[in-house]
Chains A and B, each alone.
Chain A
Amino acid sequence: MAKRSFLIPGVDKRLLIKDSIKTMPDVSRRRFIAGGASLGALTLLTGCDVIDSSSAEDMLKQVSKFNDSVQAFIFNPDALAPTFPESAITKPFPFNAYYDLDDAPDVDGADWKLEVRGLVDNKKSWTLDELYKLPQVTQITRHICVEGWSAIGSWTGTPLRDFLKLIGADTRAKYVWFQCADKDGYNSPLDMRSALHPQTQMTFKYANEILPRAYGFPMKIRVPTKLGFKNPKYVVSMEVTNDYKGGYWEDQGYNSFSGS
């Protein structure tokens, strides 16, 4: 116990990384199935044969999809995430990923361009200097991780809805799909209503400093109405689309809407 180092109360730094590693689906698939197989009682209640573990998984996936629609239904586009004073900021703000910080994408800001694709009028790519010239706002909000821990941080950048307007995006489309520089190709879909939420931001600064590598340099999408894994870092492209293209964690079973 004594060797455990806590970044913030309740968050074990080693666990954050370890947990992400052990969440790889192939290793845990069997355990997942074992969990389903022992629950014969559920058969009586649902009428599904959960002894057959694949149907247990199917049932859970169906419920998760149902939960997506319930969450979309109760999502109020005007409900704002609570904001906090600077004194409430969590220091240090935790780095969290399925890899060590040393393995995090190391993006060269001079070469980097944000690619814009899909249902937009202007598909021009944006350099960092061009993006930095857009009007920016600062917000201090609580980042809530799917693992349960949370931390308060200060993010500065351009509201995504302003940018979507600027590039002539079809905001009737269903999703904005982000792709990232992570070597395994991290990506995540964001439903359009959340993308248009006033606090959803293309983030270029953390705590008034250029976004450090740990938090997603050169650009992160900060969505205070979503769990952390739906706040992609190291973003390289965005696509406005009607297709559900899946996401790194979403494909492995995290609930896709995951709104807060």
Chain B
Amino acid sequence: MSSLTVSDEQVSATPAKVIQPAWVRVMHWTNAVAMILMILSGWQIYNASPLFGFSFPREYTLGGWLGGGLLWHFAAMWLLMINGLAYLVTGFATGRFRKKLLPITPSGVLHDVRAALTFKLGHDDLTVYNYVQRALYAGIIVVGVLIVLSGLSMWKPVQLHWLVMLFGDYPTARYVHFFCMAAICAFLVIHVLLALLVPKSLRAMIIGR
């Protein structure tokens, strides 16, 4: 009997399948905050010397003026870089990237994009990412690495001149930095939209299940 009781307790104590482990959730939301701070302060910095014929509206910039924007940018960069590094290390070490993001096949992506656009993409098992998710998440990791490397090139073009050479020259690193930001913003729109369409995925990123 006692063994039965124990197994009963086990059943009730066993939480529903964890979809997003705690470390993923913590790093995800830390990254979300850091990214938003970086983007809004980055727009402030961009406005000081626009690369293109437009500026970002002041209401959507952080820091009040160039100096304030720079202070925010070079403070939030630590949050972004430390959290990002920890995420990469843990993602590779635990095998999460390999298990969750691979394989990515062009036919798989094409199939799932078509299914998503016709609202036929199933979300029964949130522990398995579909090909749209795999492509987007793997892609945004690459963009994240690129935006940090181009940012470091602009911050330390003399000390890290070998890194600048990877992009060609300083002005090119600036354009790379900008387009990575644009890619992240585009990702953010799609990502938030899809999360809202499948609310249980958002719940999983908050409480894990």
Contact = CB atoms under 8 A, between A and B. Distances in A.
Contacts of B64: 28-35
B156 A74 contact: yes
A224 interface: yes
A156 B200 CA distance: 65
B5 to A, nearest CB: 41
A79 B159 contact: yes
Contacts of B47: 19
Contact of A23 (B67, B72, B154): B67
Contact of A25 (B50, B53, B65, B164): B65
Interface stretch (B74-82, B91-99, B120-128, B141-149): B74-82
Interface string B156-198: 1111010010000011001000000000000000000000000
A166 interface: no
A252 B67 contact: yes
B39 interface: no
Interface stretch (A128-136, A140-148, A235-243): A140-148
B68 interface: yes
Contacts of A110: none
Contacts of A45: 30, 33, 79
B116 interface: no
Interface string B54-82: 00001001111111101110110011000
A259 B159 contact: yes
Given A15-B50, A32-B65, A33-B64, A79 B161 contact: yes
A63 interface: yes
A60 B75 contact: yes
Contacts of A82: 158, 161, 164
A39 B159 contact: no
Contacts of B65: 22-23, 25, 28, 31-32
A260 B156 contact: yes
A82 B156 CA distance: 12
A225 B161 CA distance: 11
B38 interface: no
Interface string A245-260: 0000100111100011
Contacts of A214: none
A25 B66 CA distance: 10
A12 B50 contact: yes
A4 B51 CA distance: 13
Contacts of B170: 142, 144, 150
Interface of A: 1, 4, 9-12, 15-16, 19, 22-23, 25, 28-35, 39, 41-42, 45, 59-61, 63-64, 67, 74-76, 79-82, 142, 144-150, 224-225, 249, 252-255, 259-260
Q: Sorted from nearest, which 7 A-B pairs have the closest CB atoms? A: A31-B64, A32-B64, A253-B67, A147-B48, A28-B65, A63-B75, A147-B49
26 contacts: A4-B53, A10-B51, A10-B174, A12-B49, A12-B50, A15-B48, A19-B66, A31-B68, A32-B65, A34-B64, A35-B64, A59-B75, A60-B72, A61-B71, A63-B78, A64-B74, A74-B156, A81-B158, A144-B170, A147-B49, A147-B66, A148-B49, A225-B158, A254-B70, A255-B71, A260-B156
